[in-house]
């Protein structure tokens, strides 16, 4: 499968929702958010947290498996947490998403150049070269990470770590008619 075909799988499985949760950047907040999911039996599929440009706040991007429960209650319950400031659900069609993956893959000499070429097609990077292993990184749309992962698997994956996705809403393509809140 060529990497381009990933475009057709640009959307995560429908039972997953991506929530972008703006929270106060202080101790215990992640535990509150996580335990709210846990006590209602919702599985967190992936989670990424880091401070925003304003250090008082962090953004949690959480991909949640909500097949069994309505998303509305999750969002409303999250909103009740005092340290949660804003929640937006990011529709994959209206957002830009990225994830980072680090992979160590077996790369004996006879396949090494083939592997380097493959990583190059994905615009990934070779981070480290060992005697018969390569460490590769790729920051891309999560679906592209899936593709590379799949293609590397036959070579023998030794270690693999993904960060979980981060996302932001897509920007307007046309001049907006309304006023946009500053700051």
Binding-site ranges for another protein (CB under 8 A): 23-24, 27-28, 31-32, 35, 39, 56, 72-73, 76-77, 79-86
Whole-angstrom CA distances from 159 to 96, 117, 143, 146, 173 are: 27, 20, 19, 15, 40
Q: Which helix (H) or strand (E) holds 144?
A: helix 142-152
Shortest distance in whole angstroms from residue 182 CB to another protein: 17
Ranges of beta strands (E only) in 26-165 are 43-51, 57-65, 84-90, 95-106, 125-129, 133-140, 157-162
User: 31 vs 121, which CB is nearer to another protein?
Assistant: 31
Shortest distance in whole angstroms from residue 24 CB to another protein: 7
Query: How many C-alpha atoms does 165 have within 13 Å on its Cβ side?
Result: 27
Shortest distance in whole angstroms from residue 109 CB to another protein: 50
Shortest distance in whole angstroms from residue 57 CB to another protein: 8
Instruction: Give the Cα separation of 119 and 125 in Å (integer).
Output: 7
User: 83 vs 137, which CB is nearer to another protein?
Assistant: 83
The angle formed by the CA atoms of residues 22, 139 and 99, to the nearest 5 degrees, is 35
User: 24 vs 139, which CB is nearer to another protein?
Assistant: 24
User: 73 vs 161, which CB is nearer to another protein?
Assistant: 73
Shortest distance in whole angstroms from residue 33 CB to another protein: 11
Whole-angstrom CA distances from 122 to 53, 62, 74, 163, 172 are: 29, 25, 36, 18, 28
Q: Could you say which DSSP state residue 56 is in? A: T
User: 80 vs 180, which CB is nearer to another protein?
Assistant: 80
């Amino acid at each position: 499968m060529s990497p381009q075909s990933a475009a057709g799988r640009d959307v995560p499985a429908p039972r997953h929702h991506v929530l972008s949760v703006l929270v106060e950047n202080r101790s215990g907040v992640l535990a509150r958010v996580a335990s709210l999911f846990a006590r209602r039996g919702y599985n967190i599929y992936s989670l990424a947290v880091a401070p925003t440009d304003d250090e008082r706040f962090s953004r949690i991007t959480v991909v949640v498996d909500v097949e069994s429960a309505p998303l509305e209650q999750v969002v409303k319950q999250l909103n009740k947490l005092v340290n949660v400031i804003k929640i937006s659900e990011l529709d994959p069609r209206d957002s830009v998403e990225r994830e980072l993956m680090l992979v160590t893959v077996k790369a004996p000499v006879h396949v090494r150049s083939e592997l380097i070429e493959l990583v190059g097609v994905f615009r990934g990077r070779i981070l480290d070269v060992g005697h018969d292993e390569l460490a590769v990184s790729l920051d891309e749309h999560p679906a592209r990470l899936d593709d590379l992962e799949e293609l590397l698997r036959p070579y023998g994956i030794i270690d693999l770590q993904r960060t979980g996705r981060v996302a932001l809403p897509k920007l307007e393509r046309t001049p907006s008619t309304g006023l946009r809140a500053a700051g």
